Structure 1
Amino acid sequence: MSTIEFQDRTTSSGWQREVAEETIRGHGVIVAAYFDEGCSRRLPWRERPAAAQLMAAAEHPNRPFDAVVIGEYERAFYGDQFGAVLTALRARGVQLWLPEADGPVNLDDPVHQALMLLLGSQSRREVLRARHRVLAAMHVQARVQGRFLGGRPPYGYRLADAGPHPNRAHASWGRRMHRLEPDPATAPWVRWIFQQRATGRSVAGIARELNDRGIPCPSNADRDRNRHRTRHEWIIRTVVGILENPRYTGRQVWNRHGAGTTGLTHHRAPVQPSAARGWAESEKVTHPALVDEAAFLAIQGMRAARPTQHGHTRTYVLAGHVQCQLCGRRLDSHWVNGRPGYRCRHGHTSARNRPPELAKNVYVREDHLLDDLRVRFAEAAGDDGSAIADHMRSNDLTITCGGPTREVKACRPPCALATIDETVGDQLLLL
C-alpha cells in the first residue's frame, strides 16, 4: 500500500492475501509474505524494502518457494516494471502468478502478452487520473472557494477554526476547516518588513535589523512545524520569501512555485495567477491582509539604491540584466569615473578558480549599452534608459558581454540562457 495515513495494513494485506490464496488454490500454499508500506508503485522493486528482500531470497538455491503470486497487479507494478521483474524471476527458475492471468504468466502466449500490456497501461492511467483529479479539485477549491488546503501557515499568520468540513462524510467524522488569521506576535513584523521595503530599504538591511532586534525568524517562531530547520536567524532568502508571497494580500494561494531568483526581479500580480506555473490564487479575499495589493505590487522588482559616502545614491538602470559571456555569471554593478558600469572578475569572488585563458575581468559602460539598445528598442527608448530596462525585465531579456560581440537573449530562470527562435524577434546582435 502506497500510503500509511489513509490505509490500514491489516485490511489491505488481508484482502490481497485472500486473492492470492484463491489464485493458487489446489496448486500450492503460501510459505512467505512480502508486503511494502508507504512505497509508491512507481518505485522500482530494488527501492522497495520488501520487494528487494523477495528478489534477494529468490537468488538462493535453497529458497522455500518456486513461484511468486501477486495479490493485485496495480499494487505491485507500474508501467513496464512487470517485464523486468518477470525476466529476473524466470532467470532464477521462479514462476510469476497473477489473478488476472488465472495462474502463471507465460509471455510466449500472445494472449498473456496483450494482457500484460493492458494491465501496465491501466496501472499508469490509474495514477495519472487520480493525480489529475486531485490537483484539479484542489485548484478549484483554492481559486473559487478560497479554502485553506493544509501546510504550514505563513509567518505572520496562525490557523483558526472555520467551521465543519464541507464534505458531509468528513464533517460526520468531526473534521473541521481552517482559515488564516493574523498572529499577534509575528504579524506586526510582517507589516514592518513590507513598510521598510516600500521605503527603498535593502533586503539585507531588513534581515540585519531583525537579527539585531532579536526577532524570532519563522523557523524559531513555530518550532513544532519547523523541526527540520537548524538555523534560527533571519537570512535574505527568508525576507525575500515573505515579500514575494501573495498570501499577505489576503488571498489564498495554493501550489505556488518560486521564481528561481535571489531577489525581487519579477513583477507578479496577485490577482492574476500564473497558470503556466500551476499555482492558483483565490478570486476573493479570504483572510485579513497584512499588506494591501497596491503596496505589494509596488515593491515587486524594486531594487534598493546604495548611498555613497557623500550621501548620494547611485542608480544602475540595467542591474541584473548584464551577464558574462565567458563564465555565465551576472555582472556586478560598478561605478568608475563618475558613471555607472558593470564588471565581472571571473572567479575572484567565487569558489572556482579562474581559467588561465580568460581575461582578468570584463567591464562595460552603461551608457554604451544604452546607446546600442536604443537603436534596437526605439519604441522603448527614453532619456534615462528606464523604459528600456522595463522592456527587458518584462520580456526576460539579458545582455551577454565579454566576447567579440554582445547579444541580447531571453533568460529563463535560474539565469540559464536559452536559444531564441529568430522568428520571435527578441535576439539582437550588438557589434
Structure 2
Amino acid sequence: MTMRADTIPGQVTLASWAVQQRKVRPQRFTPPADGLTFAFYGRMSTVDFQDRTSSCRWQRDYAEDLVAGRGRIVAEFFDEGVSRRVAWPDRPQAARLLAAVADPARGFDAIVVGEYERAFHGQQLEQLSLTLVEHGVQLWLPETYGPVDFDNPRQLALLDLLGVHSQREVARARRRTSAAMRAQAELQGRHLGGRPPYGYRLVDAGPHPNRAHAAWGRRLHRLEPDPTTAPWVRWIFEQRLNGRSVASIARRLNDSGVPCPSGADPARNRHRSGQRWMLTTVAAILANPRYTGRQVWNRHRTDHDDVHPDDAVTRHHEVQRRNAAPQWVISRQIAHPPLVTEEQFVAVQAVHTAPTPADGTPRRYLLAGLLFCGVCGRLMDSHWVHGRPGYRCRHGYTSTRTKTSPRPKILYLREDHLLDRIRHDRGLHRHHPALRSPDPEKLTACLRTNNMIIVCDHRAWTVESETEVHPLNPQGSGLPATAKIPAQRNGNHAKHEEPSLFVWK
C-alpha cells in the first residue's frame, strides 16, 4: 500500500517548518499594541487585466505593515472593477464600509488603506473626512505614516497634493490611451474592440503587433461581412435611398421575420430583448459610417457629470453622448470590406421623409439646423404656420408629459424676419459681405460655410461663430422682436393655449 507524503505521521511540511523558525524575543523589548482594530479598504480598476488575489494581497500587506504593533485588521472591504473616479457611495464595498462607519456596533476603530490612489481621487477624501470625524473613526495612510490628523495644516496640504496627483494620473493615462487609439484607428484601421456592427462578424487578423502581447497569445481581429446579415444591411440602405421611411423599413423587416441585431447575435447583446426591429435600430444602422469600409472611432464619448445631492459627497453620473462628425477619427485606408459605397452613405444622410403637405407643395426650411433657443439651448424645430416657414422651441415640453407651472413661454420665429434682419445688419456685413445677398439661399449658404448659428430668445437675436458673437441690430429692418399670437385663433382654443410669443406680423 502506498502512502501519500503529506499523510506520513510526524512529517513536517514546509509551511509548518517555516513557522517554527520564528525567533522569540523577550516581551520587554516588544512594542506594546494599543489595541486598535482596523477595517482594511482596497480597490482594483479592472477584472480582465488584474488578478484579485495578488492586487488585494499587496495592498493589504502595505496596510498590515503600517498598523503592525499598533493594532490588527478585523474586517476587509475590497472593490473589484471600480474606477477611482467613482464616488464612495457608488462603490459596492465602499458603500458597505460607510454604512458600517455610521453603525455604533461597527467592530473597528479605524480604516486603513494600502495606497492613497487605490482609495481616493481628487477631493473625495476631503468630502469623506466630515463623515469620519463625525463618527470618530480614524483613517490611516502610508503616506502620513499613520493616522491622518485633519486639524494639521501640513497633512491637509499633503492630502490635497495626493488628490491632485491621483487625478492627474487618471487624466494622463486617458490622454495617452486616447492618442494611441486615435493613431491606430486612423493610420492602421485597426478594430479597437467592442461588438461588430450588424452585418459583420469578427475574424482573426494575425498576431498582435506588440511583441509582448503576441508572446502571450493575443491576436488582432478585423471585420468581415456576415453572409446572413450583410445582405439585409445593403437592403436597408437601398430602401432608404428609394425614399422609404425608417418606420416602414422596420415594419417590413418584422413582417419578413428577419432577426434583429440582438436576435441574430444574442451573446453580444444580452441587454436587449432580441424580439423585434425598432425605429432606433434601423436609424442606428443607417447612421453608422463603418459600413463604408472605413474604420471610424470616437463617435461617442462618456461624460462624467458631477451631481451634488443633499449630502456632502459629490457623485459622478456617467452619460454617453454623441460627438459631432468633425470629431470622428476616420481611417485613411479601407480597413474592411464595405457593404455600401461612401456615396451611398452620404446620400442616405441627406434623405428626409417628412410628411407631404396636402397641396403637394414641398416645404423648405433654409435655416434648419442653424437656429438655437437662447432660453434652453436646444436646436429649434422647423414649424410651418400660415403658409410660411418658421421655427419654434418648446423647451423640452411634449404632450406626453404632465404640464408643470411655471414653464418658459414657447418661442416662435419667422424665417423671413430672420433673413431680413441679417440682410440689413451693416455691422455684420463688414466681415461677411455675402450676408447682404437678396438671394436667401446664398445668404444661408454663407452662414453654413462660415459655421455660423443664430441664437434667439424673446428679446434679442444673435449671430454666433466659433470666434465672434454679433447681436443683430433690432432697428436694422424695422421688424419688431416679438408679437402676440395671431388673433385668428378662436377664443375657446386660446384659453387652452399656454402663454407664448410669436414674431408673426
Question: Which of the five TM-score ranges fits, normalised by the shorter chain?
Answer: 0.7 to 0.9
Partner of 1:263: none
Residue by residue over 1:31-81, the C-alpha shift from the partner in whole angstroms, topping out at 9 and shown as x without a partner, is 222222222222232332323333333344454333322111110111122
Deviation at 1:288, TM superposition (A): 1.0
Unaligned runs of 5+ in 1: 259-267, 411-419
Aligned AA for 1:330?
D
Structure 2 CA distance for aligned equivalents of residues 213 and 407 of structure 1: 51
Structure 2 CA distance for aligned equivalents of residues 23 and 357 of structure 1: 58
Q: Quick one: structure 1 residues 378 and 23, their matched pair in 2 at CA, closer, same or farther if it must change by over 3 Å?
A: closer
Q: Check conservation: 1:250, 1:286, Cα contact below 8 A.
A: yes
2:79 is aligned with 1:24:
no
Q: Quick one: structure 1 residues 17 and 242, their matched pair in 2 at CA, closer, same or farther if it must change by over 3 Å?
A: same
Q: Check conservation: 2:455, 2:463, Cα contact below 8 A.
A: yes
Structure 2 CA distance for aligned equivalents of residues 381 and 331 of structure 1: 23
2:339 is aligned with 1:293:
no
Q: Check conservation: 1:323, 1:331, Cα contact below 8 A.
A: no
Further displaced range: 31-40 or 10-19: 31-40
Deviation at 1:15, TM superposition (A): 1.1
2:286 is aligned with 1:243:
yes
Partner of 2:381: 330
Partner of 1:194, secondary structure, is helix
Partner of 1:285, secondary structure, is coil
Q: Check conservation: 2:56, 2:78, Cα contact below 8 A.
A: yes
Structure 2 CA distance for aligned equivalents of residues 316 and 153 of structure 1: 38
Aligned AA for 2:434?
E
Q: Quick one: structure 1 residues 38 and 362, their matched pair in 2 at CA, closer, same or farther if it must change by over 3 Å?
A: closer
From 95, 113, 125, give the equivalent of 1:82.
125
Deviation at 1:142, TM superposition (A): 0.9
Partner of 1:150, secondary structure, is coil
Map of 1:368-383 to 2, 5 A cutoff? Answer: 379=434
**What TM-score comes out, normalization by structure 2 length?**
0.66
**What TM-score comes out, normalization by structure 1 length?**
0.76
Partner of 2:50: 7
Q: Check conservation: 2:463, 2:469, Cα contact below 8 A.
A: no
2:357 is aligned with 1:302:
no
Q: How many residues align?
A: 400
Deviation at 1:211, TM superposition (A): 3.5
Q: Check conservation: 1:305, 1:314, Cα contact below 8 A.
A: no
Structure 1 CA distance for aligned equivalents of residues 54 and 408 of structure 2: 66
Partner of 1:171, secondary structure, is helix
Residue by residue over 1:5-51, the C-alpha shift from the partner in whole angstroms, topping out at 9 and shown as x without a partner, is 22222111111111111112222222222222222222232332323
Structure 1 CA distance for aligned equivalents of residues 128 and 356 of structure 2: 67
Q: Quick one: structure 1 residues 227 and 350, their matched pair in 2 at CA, closer, same or farther if it must change by over 3 Å?
A: same
Residue by residue over 1:248-279, the C-alpha shift from the partner in whole angstroms, topping out at 9 and shown as x without a partner, is 11110112139xxxxxxxxx9xxxx62xx3x3
Partner of 2:167: 124
Map of 1:296-375 to 2, 5 A cutoff? Answer: 296-304=345-353, 314-318=362-366, 320=368, 330-333=381-384, 341-342=389-390, 351=401
Partner of 1:262: none
Structure 1 CA distance for aligned equivalents of residues 112 and 121 of structure 2: 16
Structure 2 CA distance for aligned equivalents of residues 235 and 102 of structure 1: 59
Structure 2 CA distance for aligned equivalents of residues 282 and 68 of structure 1: 50
Structure 2 CA distance for aligned equivalents of residues 358 and 23 of structure 1: 59
Q: Quick one: structure 1 residues 381 and 302, their matched pair in 2 at CA, closer, same or farther if it must change by over 3 Å?
A: farther
Deviation at 1:114, TM superposition (A): 3.5
Q: Quick one: structure 1 residues 232 and 369, their matched pair in 2 at CA, closer, same or farther if it must change by over 3 Å?
A: farther
Q: Check conservation: 1:324, 1:362, Cα contact below 8 A.
A: no
Q: Quick one: structure 1 residues 48 and 295, their matched pair in 2 at CA, closer, same or farther if it must change by over 3 Å?
A: closer
Tell me the percent identity.
Answer: 49
Structure 2 CA distance for aligned equivalents of residues 23 and 305 of structure 1: 69
